[in-house]
Amino acid sequence: MTVPARRGTRILAGVGGAVLVVLATLLTLGSALFALLGVAMAARIARGRSQPFSWLGSWIGATAGAAVGIAIVAVAIAPRIPAGAFDRIRQSVDSAAQHPSNPAWLERIAPGVAARASTARPGILNDSLTTWASVMGIALGLGFTAMLFGTIGWLAALPLVYAVRGAWPWAMAQPDPQA
């Protein structure tokens, strides 16, 4: 059983939560709003399944919502990338691979490394491996960003939800034990 929240506490939590949500939205480029929607959807799903809504479930919902927000932003930005941008990136990578330069400190630590590096077979990494590594790197980066932005949105939303409902998110959606 939860203790009912006092009115002053709820007002203070509402003002603080609103400020935090605005700051989080600016910091996460709008993904925090999707995190709020993710928490609401996770609570609704838990309530529909008559399961308790945990803090972990609310965080996972916020992270999933932020991931959806990041995907929407990425889809909106993708058409604005100039034509040939990826070709220029590939050219610069190939150019850097053709003329490797080792720092002087590396030669002091491992003498002869420059000579061994110049005799290595060029082109060991083929295009499919490079593409796969790039896609995996982007996916991991987006996943980490979604977790970070989802956590920021989740933390900003907690006081706001407390102000509106008078209870923490995981204390609101408990199933009825009588049912």
pLDDT: which is higher, 132 or 103: 132
Which residues have CB under 8 Å from 148's CB, separation 6+?
Answer: none
Residues 81-113 have pLDDT tens digits of 888 887 887 787 777 666 666 777 877 888 877
Residue 2 has pLDDT above 90, yes or no: no
Which pLDDT does position 173 carry in this prediction? Answer: 46
- Domains in the chain: boundaries: 7-97+125-172
Distance of alpha carbon 161 from alpha carbon 169, whole angstroms: 7
Q: Which of 141, 142, 161 is nearest to 153 (CA)?
A: 161
> How many C-beta atoms surround the C-beta of residue 61 within 10 A?
26
Residues 153-174 have pLDDT tens digits of 888 888 887 887 777 766 654 5
Percent with pLDDT over 70 in the chain: 80
Distance of alpha carbon 4 from alpha carbon 97, whole angstroms: 65
Per-residue pLDDT band for 64 (boundaries 50, 70, 90) equals very high
User: Among 5-9, 10-14, 24-28, 141-145, which range has the highest average pLDDT?
Assistant: 141-145
Tell me the helix, strand and coil percentages in the chain, rounded to 5. 75, 0, 25
